[in-house]
Amino acid sequence: MFVIVSDNCDVHSLTAKELEYVPKIILLQKFKNYMDQLCYRLKYIKADSEVQQHRRCLKHCNLPCYHSHIDGLAPFIKNCCECRLQQQQETTAF
């Protein structure tokens, strides 16, 4: 089965079954801004560590040191300084 996704709107109209045929690399390259919505529809992709970096950090975005969600979207996990700090601490702990 081939699935042609030509526009960002197309990814919203696809079912979870159809999205399974779209390679992960295409999802990350073309639809990384929609990764949160895709993770709810594709459970197997939610557990992928590479995909998790492209999800929005809702854990730290409302801390006093950050801009609030009213100022804009929450940062991606890969761009969140608190998430990066935690990740560095975890890797140095081993």
How many distinct structural domains can be found in the chain?
A: 2
Within this chain, do residues 49 and 64 fall inside the same structural domain, yes or no?
no
Query: Within this chain, do residues 19 and 43 fall inside the same structural domain, yes or no?
Result: yes
Shared domain for 45 and 60, answered yes or no, is no
Beta carbons of 35 and 54 less than 8 angstroms apart: yes
Domain that holds residue 75: 56-93
| Integer Cα distance of 85 and 45 in angstroms | 24
Q: Do 50 and 35 fall into the same domain?
A: yes
What pLDDT was estimated at residue 61? 72
Residues 49 and 74 in one domain: no
Distance CA 19, CA 3 (A): 8
> Which residues in the chain belong to E strands, given as ranges?
none
Q: Which of 68, 45, 67, 70 is nearest to 55 (CA)?
A: 45
The model's pTM is 0.60
Q: Return the biggest CA–CA distance within the chain.
A: 48
pLDDT digits (tens), the chain, 94 positions:
666 666 666 677 888 888 888 888 888 888 877 887 887 788 788 778 888 888 888 787 766 665 555 667 777 888 888 888 888 888 887 6
